[in-house]
Amino acid sequence: MTSEQTPVCRRVAMVSVHTSPLAQPGTGDAGGMNVYVLETAKRLARRGIAVDIFTRRTTASEEPIVEVEPGVVVRHVSAGPYEGLDKEDLPGQLCAFSAGMMRIEAHAPEGHYDLVHTHYWLSGQVGWLAADRWDIPLVHTMHTMARVKNLHRADGDTLEPRGREIGEAQVVEAADRLVANTVDEARELIDLYDADPELVDVVSPGVDLEMFHPGDRSAARAEVDIPDDAALLLFVGRIQPLKAPDVLIRAAAHLVRRDPSLRERLVVGILGGASGVAVKSPMALDRLAEDEGIADLVRFVPPTDHETLATWMRAADIVAVPSHNESFGLVAVEAQASGAVVVATDVGGLPTAVGDAGLLVDGHDPHLWANAFESILDDPALHAELSTKAVERSRAFSWEATAERLAAVYEAALATPRRASINDADALAGIPSAVIP
């Protein structure tokens, strides 16, 4: 194929059904995926690829169309009641959501979208229909996978439903390209979902290096009301068993029991809001802190904007990411870009995100986490070394690089004949009978 014949991607229909890229990360279902969708859309638009983001309308006050910046439009689609629906209720609204997308596209010129890029399995189900209807490629990013989450399920967390596993397997079969955040995630797609290795592309997420950067720690601490001489351990994320913020509290209590003088300066920051099963069955971290005897050392901070989040990270000595699983771990990279030392679970995409610029802990034993914290807090030279490495490592991750790789994936999808519809007998023959409804 000559360069003149190479397909060019001009406009993408990006789908994020269950959570809006405009929502505040850190509470409900809003998290790293929201950041990923919005930041990649902006960088793609700046490269000349216009992006329409389709998401479910959740309040009456939301405008049907919101222009984020030139080339990036968020389209709120009505599908079910605006409020009161959990993520688990949304499979019943996929038909309504798909119909809304079809109506919007029907008013556009023929061939308006060159490609559909979906995020999370619910969006993949919608995008599969749209791609078939519009005869354009489907690119899908899982972000999280039921079979992986069930393998690494936290105590108190619920199993992902079989319906999700079936839906994910269908999307994997239907997609023209699959985007994985890390090599490990690509391997999981291949091993657990029988994805074609030739169709799986690894594209690392990025970080906004203009927002997250090192700075004056004393000034940052003054801004968020933390004493200048404090030892600040920080958790950032949704409050749910999967993210395991309780590990930080238990480990901090071990530190104080080992060295009671630490009580005079230790501060444990928990920045985030309830999510997932914790909405209906709160994790009661405040009661845990009381039971562990460190309630006076723990500060609970509601989800905040990116600028304030970056200030908290610049103020922190250590940012803990004790998750039971992460497809990548945006918080870890944002923290490293801000100069904080990251201590994370050695699982999922976190080793890729953290590398040798932080410490990785095997499992969730609070004693082991306390050891990791102690090794950094007691050794200023090690802390300084890791902080410097963290900033240097974060420079390898940028949203511009992510968008560049996605654009290449889009071109590859456009240049390859579309896969057969999953409704075709040949396509169904390729899916294990256990996952065919």
Report the binding-site residues for UDP-N-acetyl-alpha-D-glucosamine: 24-25, 32, 238, 243, 326, 334
Rounded Cα distance, 330 and 334, in Å: 6
Strand partners, 139: 117, 177
DSSP calls for 171-197: HHHH-SEEEESSHHHHHHHHHHH---G
Termini Cα distance of the chain: 40
Alpha-carbon gap, residue 122 to 150, rounded angstroms: 18
Residue list for the binding site for Mg(2+)? 313-314, 316
Q: What is the DSSP string of 316-377?
A: -SEEEE--S--SS-HHHHHHHHTTPEEEEESSTTHHHHHGGGSEEESS--HHHHHHHHHHHH
Q: At what angle do helices 399-415 and 32-46 cross, to 10 degrees?
A: 70
Q: How far apart are CA 226 and CA 308, in angstroms?
A: 13
- Dihedrals phi, psi of 342, to nearest 5 degrees: -100, 135
Tokens at 237, concatenated: 């994320």
- Cα angle vertex 143, ends 33, 423, to 5°? 120
Cα 232 to Cα 318: distance, rounded to the nearest angstrom:
7
Across 122-132, b (16+ Cβ under 10 Å) vs e yields bbbbbbbbbbb
Annotated binding site for 1D-myo-inositol 3-phosphate: 18, 29-34, 87, 120, 144, 164
Rounded-to-integer distance, Cα 418 and Cα 241, Å: 40
**Annotated binding-site positions:** 18, 24-25, 29-34, 87, 120, 144, 164, 238, 243, 313-314, 316, 326, 334
